[in-house]
Amino acid sequence: MSDLPFGDGEYRRRQEEFLSNMPIDSLVIIPNNQVSIRSNDTSYPYRANSYVLYLCGWSEPDSILTAKFDDGLWQTTLFVRPRDTKAEIWEGRRVGPEGALQGWPIDNSLSINDAEEYISKKIESGLKPSAIIGIDSKIDDIISDSKMSDIPDPRTLLDVMRTVKSEAEIDVMKEASRIASDAHVKAMRATHPGIGEWQIQSVIEGHFIDSRSQWSYKSIVGGGDNATILHYGSNSDSIEDGDLVLVDAGCEVHGYASDITRTWPVNGKFTEPQREIYNLVLEAEEAAIKACKVGSTWNSSHKAASLVLAKGLIDLGILDCTISEALGENLDGPFRNYFMHGTSHLLGLDVHDVGGGRKGDGKPGPTLESGMVLTVEPGLYFASWRDDVEIPERYSGIGIRIEDDVLVTEDGPVVLTAGCPKSIDEIESLISKGD
């Protein structure tokens, strides 16, 4: 009944590595995500918690993974929904505790109805809860009075582990990259002047569904000026002849994300100003990919991309200063007027994966190791409506980002999304071929 992407050994190895580093008087508690209501009695499609998926692949709601040290061994107990014919007639079949024990990499399974009492009793008996809080308010309430100070949050260990992908994980991520690459190619072929942003979205997401996949984040399809809005998401405008469209769309396979951005002209031919900016972003992207080497510091890709972009902005006459002035002391100079985001984030079970590296998460970001997967995604944006910075007329309304998913290896960076064309010649020939 289980549809696990990995064999028992892969999950047991993860559990062993994690639990062997936990204090033996801890009660590990990892609640699965809650179902979210969309309206009245209708819910959003369910997505299991990435830590639960990582440790045991369980994807039904109303479940909690726990672990405790007993008789010299770490033992996992998964609490799941009990079998219930009436509920299953309405909502779909359930695996139940017996099925869970047979088909999933766990040591015990019990009904979710027994979870609160079980956890309370274990805490009363002296175990210290090491829980992921903020997911399940009932669990938060139970543990709120107990002393958690000397027990690590499970995420501190799990995040480091999740940062480096195993061969098995990389295979799944290659599949997610392949599906998303093919989706972008299909969308390029379907593009024509006047096409609606939503129509490109439907080609992309139709391919995801057709491939038994789903989006890993809401697809961004921005034509013309909409491409300059970083988190544009309404995808509701038609795209005019002569405009570019920026498509940032990726999918998820067994929970593992891909994340691709391509930008192309809807009429199949880049104008000269579009070509100048596109080739500059492409040069920056290629330099940043080269910087994804074992032992490099986290911000190497961002430094590499920034250097190319700052120099290019000067060469194109958009900035009138020296390169070091353009870059600024902390890569915060005026080149940031047109490139406002980071160059990379880690990728895995979450599209902005755990393990540090995202601006604002307070962590410096890891030194790159073999097996890490990160995006490389520089861009330049010249929103026509901005009045806080100078927008050159020649480039007004142009927004371009190019994003690939890169595996760090001892032999250098491997672009998992290499199946998605990005040279001007390749893109122009795809669009002109039509559907």
- Judged by beta carbon, residue 174 or residue 345, the one nearer ligand GLY is 345
386 with 292: CB under 8 angstroms? Answer: no
Q: How far is the CB of 220 from ligand GLY (least distance, A)?
A: 7
- If one asks whether residue 405 binds Mn ion (CB under 5 A), the answer comes out as no
- If one asks whether residue 217 binds ligand GLY (CB under 6 A), the answer comes out as yes
Please count the CA atoms within 13 angstroms of the CA of 181 that sit on its side-chain side. Answer: 16
Long-range contacts of 1-7 (CB under 8 A, 24+ apart): 1/95, 1/99, 1/102, 1/103, 2/57, 2/95, 2/103, 2/104, 4/57, 4/103, 4/104, 4/105, 5/57, 5/168, 5/172, 5/253, 5/254, 6/57, 6/168, 6/169, 7/168
Q: How far apart are CA 350 and CA 44, in angstroms?
A: 18
Angle at CA 224, nearest 5°, toward 223 and 230? Answer: 75
Nearest to 403 by CA among 377, 374, 381, 373: 377
- If one asks whether residue 225 binds ligand GLY (CB under 6 A), the answer comes out as no
Q: How far apart are CA 346 and CA 14, in angstroms?
A: 19
- Judged by beta carbon, residue 311 or residue 345, the one nearer ligand GLY is 345
Given strand 64-70, what is the order of strands in its sheet? 108-111, 73-80, 64-70, 26-31, 128-131
Nearest to 138 by CA among 108, 158, 115: 115
Count the residues of the shown chain that bind ligand GLY, applying the rule CB under 6 A.
Answer: 7
> What's 393's DSSP letter?
G
Q: Figure out which of the listed residues 205, 377, 405, 428 binds ligand GLY, where binding follows CB under 6 A.
A: 377
- Judged by beta carbon, residue 136 or residue 403, the one nearer ligand GLY is 403
Q: How far is the CB of 351 from ligand GLY (least distance, A)?
A: 6
Question: From ligand GLY, Mn ion, none, which one binds at residue 404 (CB under 5 to 8 Å depending on kind)?
Answer: none
Catalytic residues: 41, 231, 248, 259, 341, 345, 352, 377, 381, 401, 403
Q: How far is the CB of 288 from Mn ion (least distance, A)?
A: 13
Q: Figure out which of the listed residues 375, 380, 399, 402 binds Mn ion, where binding follows CB under 5 A.
A: 375
- If one asks whether residue 169 binds ligand GLY (CB under 6 A), the answer comes out as no
Task: Compute the chain's Rg from CA coordinates.
Answer: 24
**For residues 398-417, which are near ligand GLY according to CB under 6 A?**
403
- The residue at minimum Cβ distance from ligand GLY is 248
- Judged by beta carbon, residue 198 or residue 217, the one nearer ligand GLY is 217
Compute CA distances 318 → 69, 138, 152, 306, 307, whole Å. Answer: 63, 56, 50, 15, 15
Q: Figure out which of the listed residues 225, 248, 350, 405 binds ligand GLY, where binding follows CB under 6 A.
A: 248
- Judged by beta carbon, residue 12 or residue 341, the one nearer ligand GLY is 341
Q: How far is the CB of 261 from ligand GLY (least distance, A)?
A: 6
167-190 vs 424-433: helix crossing angle, rounded to 10: 60
Q: How far is the CB of 408 from ligand GLY (least distance, A)?
A: 18
**Beta strands, E only, 309-421:** 373-376, 379-382, 398-401, 404-407, 414-415
Binding marks (x or -) toward ligand GLY, 342..361, rule CB under 6 A?
---x-----x----------
- Encoded amino acid at 295, one letter: G
Question: From Mn ion, ligand GLY, none, which one binds at residue 217 (CB under 5 to 8 Å depending on kind)?
Answer: ligand GLY
Looking up tokens 């379907």 gives: 190
- If one asks whether residue 259 binds ligand GLY (CB under 6 A), the answer comes out as yes
- Judged by beta carbon, residue 160 or residue 230, the one nearer ligand GLY is 230
Q: Figure out which of the listed residues 259, 286, 350, 353 binds Mn ion, where binding follows CB under 5 A.
A: 259
Binding site for Mn ion (CB under 5 A): 248, 259, 375, 403
Question: Would you tell me which residues interact with ligand GLY (CB under 6 A)?
Answer: 217, 248, 259, 345, 351, 377, 403
